[in-house]
A and B are shown apart, each in its own frame.
Chain A
Amino acid sequence: MTQADVRVLVTIGMLVAYGLIMPTLGFFATSALFLLLHMLYLGIRGPVWLASPIILLLGTAWALFERFLGVPLPHGLIY
């Protein structure tokens, strides 16, 4: 098994963990956690790269779904 295959398997594992945790922790917290950990795992180190998907992606999702459309994404312990 190559290193690349391991990366694929770990990614699958992290997505499974995501599905298990999300109902309790809520969409936004779990997604932020996943993005951060997954990017770190893949070797991304630049703070701008680490922060921008979390802020831009989740920020847009929050604004559009929670505010504009009024269809709340699952909330959990934190939000």
Chain B
Amino acid sequence: MKNALLATCVAAAIAAPGAGAFAQKYKDVEVPTTVNVIVAYSAGGGTDILVRTALPYFESAIEELTGKDINMVVKNMPGAGGEVGWTALARAPKDGSTIGVINLPAVALVQAVREPEYAPWTESFTPIGVNVIDPSVVRINDAKFGTLKEAIEAAKAEPASVTVGADGPLSDDHLAVYAIEDATGAKFTFIPYAGGAPANRAFLSKEVEMSMGNVTDLLQTQEATVEAAILSNERYELIPDTPTFKELTGMDVTAGGSTRGWATVSGIPDDLLAVYREAFEIASNDPKYQEEAKNRKLTLVTPKIGDEFGQIMADTQSSVDSLLKYFEQGGYLK
């Protein structure tokens, strides 16, 4: 990789004098030769694909910044709803040789139901950055209701009479259902399925009237969807025709969706953290990477680096905290 690196450096130096300065700036940073990237889910899954797509770009950005050869290796550590992988990340040596992807809000929900070793996660993990957020989308089919508003009114008038299917329990979708309940005063019957696909099956077969999922779930069930709304402040480019929840119902409900961000164990050297953050920013803004990621249906957002991702982490924790009582009432925290 040395030659390619040299060529890039030269090219960068000619094109923009600033770029060369980066290499200067991080030249003295001690970089581990091998960086393990912990994925708390199995190979071939959504998070794994995200990591493996980004890795070559991330790797070469770090090499470009520091002028050193590194080797990034994916370590799949599935188990216990992500707890196994995140625990390993929190326990990793503080020399920067291990980074990982944390999945929000799963990491916070696991912490809410049991005492994982990584608690409190917002302190155990230091954010690198995030560029993939899959917003929550709520849908209804034609089993009982004509509009989403109608379904919510029905769930208000007669609590628990409307069924909502979703991946769960204790998933981002589950949290999003409670966000609607909290804001509207409706009370649904939550029906958990072991993953997004089985939940879509239930939605298509009208076993449930409503379903909570993410962007790809909507794309897969569009034919059976009568009305859908995205639980965020603005529309999303992959599904431009889907209104926000507020546009559709007038009620302001947002949810964090499924957020997959890069982080390290807290306490790694500051200069190395700066390298990771800057390299991540360079990688996620690389048009070639973006094209590849979009082709793989990764739900890209404008990269949020460092403290910006830290803010998302804090927001996620406070939204979990504020909705915790619904999990308690539902009998999920025992």
The B contact surface, by secondary structure, is strand
Report the bound CA distance from A71 to B78 in whole Å: 13
- Cα–Cα, bound, A72→B43 (Å): 12
State whether the Cβ of B76 lies closer than 8 Å to any Cβ in chain A. Answer: yes
Beta-carbon contacts of A53-79 to B below 8 Å, as 1s and 0s? 000000000000000001110000000
Decide yes or no whether B73 CB sits under 8 A from chain A. Answer: yes
- Closest chain A residue to B52 by CB distance? A70
CB distance from A46 to the nearest CB of B (A): 39
Closest chain B CB from A30 CB (angstroms)? 19
Provide the main secondary structure of the chain A interface: loop
With both beta carbons as reference points, the residue of chain A lying nearest to B76 in the complex is identified as: A71
- Tell me the residues in window 248-266 of chain B with beta carbons closer than 8 Å to chain A beta carbons: none
How far is the CB of A23 from the nearest CB of chain B, in Å?
Answer: 13
Bound CA span A70–B76, Å: 11
Please, which residues of chain A bring their CB within 8 A of the CB of B73? 72
CA distance A70 to B43 in the complex (A): 11
In the docked arrangement, what's the CA distance between A70 and B71, Å?
13
A37 to chain B: closest CB distance in Å?
30
CA distance A40 to B75 in the complex (A): 35
Q: CA A71 – CA B73 in complex, angstroms? A: 9
Complex interface: chain B residues within 8 A of A72 (CB): 73, 75
Task: Output the nearest chain B residue to A69 by Cβ-Cβ distance.
Answer: B43
Give the chain A neighbours of B75 by CB distance below 8 A.
72
Q: What CA separation (Å) do A71 and B75 show in the bound complex?
A: 7
Interchain CA distance A3-B157 in the complex, whole Å? 75
Closest chain-A Cβ to B78's Cβ sits at a distance in Å of 12
> A71 — which chain B residues lie within 8 A by C-beta?
43, 76
What is the minimal beta-carbon distance from A69 to any residue of chain B, in angstroms? 8
Rounded to whole Å, the gap between the CB of A71 and the closest CB of chain B is 7
Chain B positions 74 through 113: 1 when the CB is less than 8 Å from some CB of chain A, otherwise 0: 1110000000000000000000000000000000000000
Q: How many Å lie between the Cα of A37 and that of B43 in the bound state?
A: 34
- Please, could you name 5 A-B residue pairs with CB atoms under 8 Å apart, sorted by A? A70-B74, A71-B43, A71-B76, A72-B73, A72-B75
Contact surface of B with A, Cβ cutoff 8 Å: 43, 73-76
